Chains A and B, each alone.
Chain A
Amino acid sequence: MWVSAFFIITIALYLTAWTLELASVFRPYRGARKLSAILVGGAACAHLAYIAFEYYIHRHSPLADLNGSLAALSLGVIVALLLIQQRKKIPSLGIFIIPITLVFLLGAALIRGVAEVPERVASALLQVHIAFNVSGLIAFTLAAAAALAYIVQEHLLRKKRIVGAFQQLPSLEVLDNVSARASQIGFPLLTAGVITGAVFITRAGSGAFWGSTQTIGILTWIVFAFVLVLRLVGGYRGKRAALGTLIGFACGVSVLAAYALRIGGGV
């Protein structure tokens, strides 16, 4: 009962905060941002309570199955958003991040128990592998949200629709910097995830675990590597880099979707 209550409270608070942020973009009014930040903070607390009760009931690590991983991933994204807002005061980033978080969280509830890790393959290394991947995905979610905001803002600027929502969104430079920085943080984490995954598969003794999820995982790594190299060497930035980041993120989400769809669970 407590789990359901915290889950509903979390969803309701995220939705209210998002509606408030969205409304304040089209009709700015005093105190809306502060109220929205308080609501997101409240939602994060309820979210944490939800994960804690899940852990208390099932007695296993939140990273032991896809359900827990998604719940932890969505909480991590929100904590990162709060930290960014605290330090950089970037307006309206929540508009893009909160819906992604909600999708992860609802996914966590909908695919409950589907992707249980079989006992035979469960190990500490697997936990480390998942932790790296989840952390990498938190950073990539931020990068993707900033990239999406960049594309929206750039579109408005190019179409010369520069009153209303345009004025409330951050500058292109800020969004590009957030996206680049988050990708730079996420990439080593994803790399560590890929390496630990490879070691785990090798130790498990066969190529039985290699499948579409692993292939898409490697593809995610390649896309982000490509984007970062182009940024660094080719001076790429702006819309092209934003599109690359979104493609990389879509690959990362596809890995999660592939896990979720795999009947019978497993890694």
Chain B
Amino acid sequence: MSDELFVLGLSHHTAKVEQRERLSTSIQSVGEELRRLLESEEIREAVLVSTCNRVELYALSSPAGVEKARSYLLNRGGDDLLPHLYEKRSRDAVHHTFRVASSLDSLVVGEPQILGQLKEAFDAATEVKAVGPFLSRLFTSGFAAAKRVRSETAIAEGTVSVSSIACELAEKIFGQLEGRRALLIGAGEMGESAAKTLAKTGASLVILNRSVERAEALARQIDGAGRSLDALVEELLKADVVISSAASHGYLLDEHLMRDVIRARRHRPLFLIDIAVPRNIDPRVGDYDGVFLYDVDDLKSVADENLAKRRRETLAAEKILEEEVESFLEWKRGLSVKPTIIALRSRFERIVRDELSRTLPRLSSVSEEDRKLLERMSASIVNKLLHPPLKELKDGAEDPALLEAVHRLFALQVEGNDEGEEDGESVSEPKKSGAFAALQRLRIASSEGDHG
């Protein structure tokens, strides 16, 4: 029975985080896991991808290998994971690989991390020699497909995280944020996340909190300065970006306070991000010239709009993937009939060679030029004779009956064992990781007459 590509795993589509984490493995341990998996003879090539949203095994194996892989995963994660495991084979598996690489299967469509994670998993598998020509071709084709999707569609455009949007907006007001001063009021989770994103751009951070200890603790984490909320006005005068996420029942930054602050700032632009609920900043403050006020709903609506835009692009992306999947399958089809084609051509050429060497010495006065002419003519006859059957073979590469018919018609012997080469024109099976073996497990050798 021939080998087949399969993908076995679970993802955010089928399993909750507590289920996914039972199967997940660090990139450092992937090599060891693969070594153990490849101890099974049935599994020829394998790549293990483990991210926070998915754990998937991509492998080339016999059907028995699929069962072994399934048992392996269940042994690691527990039998109760069985309903959450999905399995994709052949074309579906290729399509799935390309979708994952292009981030169409991601929780946040278009996110760029998955491609890097796939590359990392592929490299780890290559390092332990778990990757052969088939998976190598599959993954490099997947990476190329992902690149095409990113450059030919808007799938990766527009930020979809609230903190990144806040950061992008700040850049649209101030240009470079390096050297700018950002003020975080309160130490809530969302504010902290936005502050961390801002800190990465080179802006200096000051955290104000009712509890100075808490402010200083957070400041240490993000390389900022912590102060008491009493320094609010002083810091507002210096800040360029203010992120407010304090728990407060009234407005912390009311219109009266901000009017004086804005006047004292001498028209310097101020970007206010109010991500607290209830809000910390009086919405009327946003009407002042040079003040830009965004609340959490504003940022969320931008994120939703960008995400919707990305989803609209998935249709165009899927079209690209269809083309790429077809191109990969065409390569695969060509690969599966290649040994037959080589054997067939080799057989015909051998016959011509033998007949010429038998006939030419019997002819009187054949010049070197005549000999070359005869050889060329013979080669041309072979090519013309072989053209229709070879074309049929390539077109119907996945039809085992056709392959069988060709083997019988032209007396090509198909062997299922690993015997050594018999003569120059036989097509030997590469070792375990070889492309032909990986696909077909066929040994095709010329039968009688091949030895002249």
0/1 interface trace, chain A 151-166, chain B, CB 8 Å (1 if under) = 0010001101011001
* A210 close to B (CB within 8 Å): no
Instruction: Indicate whether A163 sits within 8 Å of B173 (C-beta atoms), given known contacts A235-B268, A240-B289.
Output: no
* A214 close to B (CB within 8 Å): no
* A174 close to B (CB within 8 Å): yes
Contacts of A236 in B (CB 8 A): 267
Within 8 A of B (CB), among A7-61: 28, 30
CB closest chain-B residue, reference A231: B267
Which among A167, A173, A239 is the interface contact of B173 at CB below 8 angstroms?
A173
Contacts of B157 in A (CB 8 A): 28
* A186 close to B (CB within 8 Å): no
What is the CB-to-nearest-CB distance from A246 to chain B, in angstroms, rounded to a whole number?
Answer: 16
* B306 close to A (CB within 8 Å): yes
* B309 close to A (CB within 8 Å): yes
Within 8 A of A (CB), among B282-311: 286, 289-290, 292, 294, 298, 301-302, 305-306, 309
CA distance A88 to B259 in the complex (A): 35
| Contact present for B289 and A171 (CB under 8 Å) | no
| Contact present for A167 and B175 (CB under 8 Å) | no
What is the CB-to-nearest-CB distance from A221 to chain B, in angstroms, rounded to a whole number?
Answer: 24
Contacts of B298 in A (CB 8 A): 160
Instruction: Indicate whether A157 sits within 8 Å of B289 (C-beta atoms), given known contacts A235-B267, A238-B269.
Output: no
Contacts of B169 in A (CB 8 A): 157, 162
CA distance A160 to B309 in the complex (A): 17
Contacts of B328 in A (CB 8 A): none
| Contact present for A172 and B302 (CB under 8 Å) | no
| Contact present for B269 and A172 (CB under 8 Å) | yes
CA distance A222 to B147 in the complex (A): 56
* A237 close to B (CB within 8 Å): yes
CA distance A163 to B307 in the complex (A): 11
CB closest chain-A residue, reference B297: A160
| Contact present for B267 and A163 (CB under 8 Å) | no
Which among B172, B267, B301, B302 is the interface contact of A238 at CB below 8 angstroms?
B267
Q: Which of B171, B267, B269 has the most chain A CB within a 10 Å cutoff?
A: B267
| Contact present for B175 and A173 (CB under 8 Å) | yes
| Contact present for B175 and A174 (CB under 8 Å) | yes
A-B pairs with CB below 8 Å: how many? 58
Contacts of B154 in A (CB 8 A): 28
Within 8 A of B (CB), among A213-256: 234-240
CB closest chain-B residue, reference A30: B151
* B266 close to A (CB within 8 Å): yes
0/1 interface trace, chain B 155-197, chain A, CB 8 Å (1 if under) = 0011000000000010111110000000000000000000000
CB closest chain-B residue, reference A157: B292
| Contact present for B174 and A173 (CB under 8 Å) | yes
CA distance A237 to B290 in the complex (A): 9
Contacts of A158 in B (CB 8 A): 286, 292
| Contact present for A172 and B172 (CB under 8 Å) | yes
| Contact present for B158 and A163 (CB under 8 Å) | yes
CB closest chain-B residue, reference A173: B175
What is the CB-to-nearest-CB distance from A46 to chain B, in angstroms, rounded to a whole number?
Answer: 33
CA distance A3 to B292 in the complex (A): 50
Instruction: Indicate whether A234 sits within 8 Å of B309 (C-beta atoms), given known contacts A157-B172, A163-B302, A173-B173.
Output: no
Instruction: Indicate whether A157 sits within 8 Å of B302 (C-beta atoms), given known contacts A163-B309, A235-B266, A240-B267.
Output: no
| Contact present for A160 and B158 (CB under 8 Å) | no
What is the CB-to-nearest-CB distance from A90 to chain B, in angstroms, rounded to a whole number?
Answer: 10
Contacts of B268 in A (CB 8 A): 235, 237
Contacts of B175 in A (CB 8 A): 170-171, 173-174
What is the CB-to-nearest-CB distance from A158 to chain B, in angstroms, rounded to a whole number?
Answer: 7
CB closest chain-B residue, reference A238: B290
Q: Which of A157, A162, A237, A238 has the most chain B CB within a 10 Å cutoff?
A: A162
Please list 7 pairs of residues, one from A and one from B, whose beta carbons are closer than 8 Å in the complex, sorted by A's number.
A157-B173, A167-B158, A170-B175, A171-B171, A172-B174, A173-B173, A174-B175
Given contacts A235-B267, A237-B268, 5 further A-B contacts (CB under 8 A): A157-B172, A171-B172, A171-B173, A236-B267, A240-B267
